[in-house]
Amino acid sequence: MRIIILAAGKGVRMKSRSPKVLHPVCGKPMLLWVIEAVQGLSERVCVVLGHSAEQVKQVLPSHVEVRIQNEQLGTAHAVMSAQDFINPDEDVMILYGDMPLLKKETLMKVVDQHKNDENCVTIISTTMADPTGYGRIVRDSAGKFLKIVEETEASDEEKMIREINTGIYVFKGRALLETLPRIKPDNTKGEYYLTDAVNMLDRVGIHHVSENEQFFGVNDRVQLAVAQKLKQREILERLMLNGVTVVDPDSTYVEADVEIGCDTVLHPMTFLLGKTKIGEECVIGPMARIENCSVGNRVRIISSDCVGATIEDDVSVGPFARLREGTVLKSNVKIGNFVEVKNSKIGSRSKAQHLAYLGDATIGEDVNVGAGTITCNFDGKKKNPTFIEDGAFVGSNSCLIAPVKIGKGAFIAAGSVITEDVPEWSLAIARSRQTVKPGWVIKKREES
């Protein structure tokens, strides 16, 4: 069997510089959802491209072949562009790249019916409460297929039919190849309709599917939002059935490639993006955004933004923390409110609980970073490292001017500006001596 996915359209109604099929649904371009749905059905997959073909090619898996439809003159014309891909001795499935909700199980069932009934072509149909815009399936009095009629060509009576053509077909390769040259653009749009090929063939089967949501096609941003909502519900239901608690699915956003362990709780306004992987028994949110992070077990992340971070077991983050690319938090680390960590490794049981910036730093175990501490890592030309060894204590409102090293067990007095290395087990004080002038305020008031 071979598979052809039609994805050449410009998608004018999207009003976008990007091709329609590259617009993401739950973090994945809708075309990739369709390619995923046909995995296992065939290793021979061809995508017909037209508008911005080079841009679309960049996201395609390596096994997918490409054919180009230079002019968009209808669905049959798109298939003609891939005519050399069709094998007369094999079946060929034809479907569309803007149907991100398709289910593999449905496609497998229509293939089975097509083979068992030895049809020349088998159509997938469904029933719509409002069939406007779709081609209608016309049957005879015995319920057998008569024809497909496009809405622009349909009579008023035919427009009342609610059974529609989804546009997904399985053809015998030879039957399709013999029929394609006979299709003419004899219609109001002057296009080559693939439905004409169906109407020319004998032994036409219909595989009716009652669940019509999966055939939802995306043509504009409104429909994109609908598809996003439906796919998101599917993802969250799968997670919940696998042991994840989602407190409010309507306010929780989880993208397609995210993995979450059992007994983890997702609170409202949580956004899990990209290749994020979260372990078991975690508490995420409310108001957390986590992208491309690896999160261990029993981690708490509250009201914080995390991107490209590795977070080991039993770590606490937030509220209002920011973890940037390259952050590594070892087990039992505590990162508190208004702390930003960038490209830094923080050892087990170390803490930065308040109002700190740690950039390009390597921090050992059991280190305490006081409130208001910053690593001054940028000298105007390059980023410089800070090293804080095990057991060190950095007092509040300290500035560590990189490159600098704080030795094991060292103590930095609050308010210090550290410009030189501090040896192990030493006290460093780098601030002006306090001066007190008794009665100065009273004298100043008298003078004024």
Q: How far apart are CA 28 and CA 291, in angstroms?
A: 14
Beta strands in 189-228 (DSSP E): 204-208
CB 21 within 8 A of CB 29: yes
Q: Is 354 a catalytic residue?
A: yes
413 is in an annotated binding site: no
CB 33 within 8 A of CB 18: no
* 3-state SS record for 262-318: CCCEECCCEEEECCCEECCCCEECCCEEEECCEECCCCEECCCEEECCEECCCCEEC
Q: Which of 60, 36, 38, 58 is nearest to 47 (CA)?
A: 60
368 is in an annotated binding site: yes
389 is in an annotated binding site: no
Residue 28 DSSP label: E
135 is in an annotated binding site: yes
Q: State the catalytic residue, choosing from 51, 77, 207, 354.
A: 354
Question: What residues have CB less than 8 Å from 278, skipping those under 6 apart?
Answer: 258, 259, 260, 261, 264, 272, 284, 290, 295, 299
116 is in an annotated binding site: no
Taking CA 349 as the corner, what is the angle to CA 363 and CA 365, rounded to the nearest 5 degrees? 35
409 is in an annotated binding site: no
192 is in an annotated binding site: no
225 is in an annotated binding site: no
380 is in an annotated binding site: no
322 is in an annotated binding site: no
308 is in an annotated binding site: no
231 is in an annotated binding site: no
**Per the annotation, where are the binding residues for acetyl-CoA?**
371, 396, 414, 431
**Per the annotation, where are the binding residues?**
6-9, 20, 69, 74-75, 96-98, 135, 150, 165, 219, 324, 342, 357, 368, 371, 396, 414, 431
Q: Which residues are catalytic?
A: 354
**Per the annotation, where are the binding residues for Mg(2+)?**
98, 219
